[in-house]
Structure 1
Amino acid sequence: MKFSQKTLLKLKKKNKKLKPDQYKKLKRDTLRGRIKGTDERPRLSVFRSNENIYAQIIDDTNAKTLISCSTLDRSIQLAMANGRTCEAAKLMGEKLAELSLKKNITKIVFDRGPYLYHGRIKALADGARAGGLQF
């Protein structure tokens, strides 16, 4: 059953119980409305699964993915046993920063999606900052 964003907001205001996927979509769309990537400041979008973490640097004006990286990349897999740790996320953030600096991208907008800025998401952001990206 699909609801429009307006209906989801009404349900949330009435304290009705939303299914987890509906609530996650509502949070993501609310945040996405405020964050846009441009040529000067592309958007760093993060997806977190139970096993791995994925990140993309996206230019929303041209609708193109400029750089992508994940804990499934060969160099990160050799350094870490599994991709579900904060250390793996931090290493991936540093690698993402290295790849973006090669393409002359220094300033970005961080899009955490529906996730809290905590744990692996924070570790990825800290690694990207340590690598030289500015949010």
Structure 2
Amino acid sequence: MKLSKRTLFKLKNKNKKLKPNKYKKLKREALRGNIKGTVERPRLSVYRSNEHIYAQIIDDTNSRTLLACSTLDRSIKLSLSTGRTCDASRLMGEKLAELSLKKNVTKIVFDRGPYLYHGRIKALADGARAAGLQF
């Protein structure tokens, strides 16, 4: 079910029975309709929890995850005290770009999910750009 942004906000404001998780799912599906990963330009999908941040590079035509990275990875976790900072996200973006360049993936489509392009999400994207990925 794809809804416009205006419809989503109306649902959130008018219908008090709409739970936050349901609203988040509707918002993510509305954004996902515009973003598709291909073989030439796979999709970089981001998930952010309170403690950590996770990212995957996905080829939607073949429904395959090409590679994944998170702040729980050993190489990243050893150099940081916590996974909930922008520095951790930037470092993870750089590591993800390094791994993707080894697999000859240089151009991607950024899928921020239901999150605003701000804070840790922006830091991850900036780190990936700085290490050589093209959005």
- Return the TM-score normalized by structure 2: 0.91
Unaligned residue ranges in structure 2 (runs of 5+) = none
Q: Which residue of 1 aligns with 2:128?
A: 128
Q: Which residue of 1 aligns with 2:86?
A: 86
Distance change (3 Å), C-alpha of 1:126 and 1:14: closer
Unaligned residue ranges in structure 1 (runs of 5+) = none
Cα deviation, residue 19, structure 1: 1.2
Q: Which moved more, 1:50-59 or 1:13-22?
A: 13-22
- Equivalent residue of 1:100, what SS? helix
Cα deviation, residue 67, structure 1: 0.6
Alpha-carbon distance between aligned partners in 2 of 1:30 and 1:80, rounded to the nearest angstrom: 35
Query: Identity of counterpart residues, as a percentage?
Result: 75
- Given that 2:38 and 2:60 are in contact with CA atoms closer than 8 Å, whether structure 1 keeps it comes out as yes
Alpha-carbon distance between aligned partners in 2 of 1:13 and 1:70, rounded to the nearest angstrom: 31
In the alignment, structure 1 residue 56 sits paired with structure 2 residue 56: yes
Alpha-carbon distance between aligned partners in 1 of 2:133 and 2:89, rounded to the nearest angstrom: 15
Q: Which runs of 4+ in 1 moved over 6 A?
A: none
- Return the TM-score normalized by structure 1: 0.91
* Alignment root-mean-square deviation, CA: 1.7
- Equivalent residue of 2:94, what SS? helix
Alpha-carbon distance between aligned partners in 2 of 1:55 and 1:83, rounded to the nearest angstrom: 13
For 1:62, the aligned partner's letter is N
- Equivalent residue of 1:65, what SS? strand
Cα deviation, residue 12, structure 1: 1.7
Q: Which residue of 1 aligns with 2:44?
A: 44
Distance change (3 Å), C-alpha of 1:84 and 1:78: same
- Equivalent residue of 2:116, what SS? coil
In the alignment, structure 1 residue 113 sits paired with structure 2 residue 113: yes
- Given that 2:2 and 2:33 are in contact with CA atoms closer than 8 Å, whether structure 1 keeps it comes out as no
In the alignment, structure 1 residue 16 sits paired with structure 2 residue 15: yes
For 2:114, the aligned partner's letter is P
Alpha-carbon distance between aligned partners in 2 of 1:77 and 1:13, rounded to the nearest angstrom: 37
- Equivalent residue of 1:30, what SS? helix
Cα deviation, residue 106, structure 1: 0.3
